[in-house]
Structure 1
Amino acid sequence: MSEPVKVREGAAGASDDKPGFDLGSGPGRLLVWLYGVFTVAAASRSVVQVILDFGRAPLAYVLSAVAAVVYAFITYSLVRGGETARKAALVCCAAELAGVLVVGTWTLVEPSAFPDATVWSDYGMGYLFIPVILPVTAMVWLRRSARR
């Protein structure tokens, strides 16, 4: 009887853009799910607010729409996988965290600028602070995935 032939990973001709492992597996699967839920939540909220009452708080409603686009891109990148998608998601998570910190601080310092809340208001307090925790967790996961 012969032994099975072992195939060496990373053989010549393999694409550099293929992931060492799937970004959407393990803890990454939870991140995909959470980002997917936040995409739907932020997009739904902003669409309804823009249609029904845009004049009341245009800045808040536009920022919720921006959050939805960022969440959607990160979700797509995690599902797609690969080194390029990992790097793009990492940059978007950093931008998301910066947005949450800027908007969160802005809503506390000058509440009158936001007559209605955004997804990122008060550091995401209306969403159990997940908007501030999620990008940090995702960046840790994405950095960890680069080492595999």
Structure 2
Amino acid sequence: MHSSFYGRRVTYAIAEAAHRSGLSIDTLRYYERIELIDPPARDSGGRRAYSDDDLAWLVFLTRLRTTGMPIKLMREYARLRHQGVATFGQRKRILERHRQDVRTRIDELRSCLGVLDYKIDNYERCIGAEHIQEASA
């Protein structure tokens, strides 16, 4: 569903789409070039005009990238998306596999965080002991 203002579809110029999606203009153009996003409609002046649907797709792509999904897999997902309902199962499997990868990475990061916490606590103890020694000297 597109936003509308008195029956007109609201669209966004590339700079506004970049701002709203959190991506750079160069990234938007790159995503278009590698067919991650469809070429947006053009306004009367020939400039890109992104819709709310385009922005929602960009937000989803950004989340996939943030979670570490490779561009190649994102392109496969986008290609399947173009094929419609018949690819729901394939797309679901891609997301399920990626979800497992994300969970594994979260576990690895938690382990790393534990090491960082340990080291920081150790430094705090050392620094505290140093201050005690200086005060008693």
TM-score, with length taken from structure 2: 0.34
In terms of Rg, which structure is larger?
A: 2
Higher relative contact order (CA 8 A, sep 6+): 1
Indicate the structure with greater strand content.
2
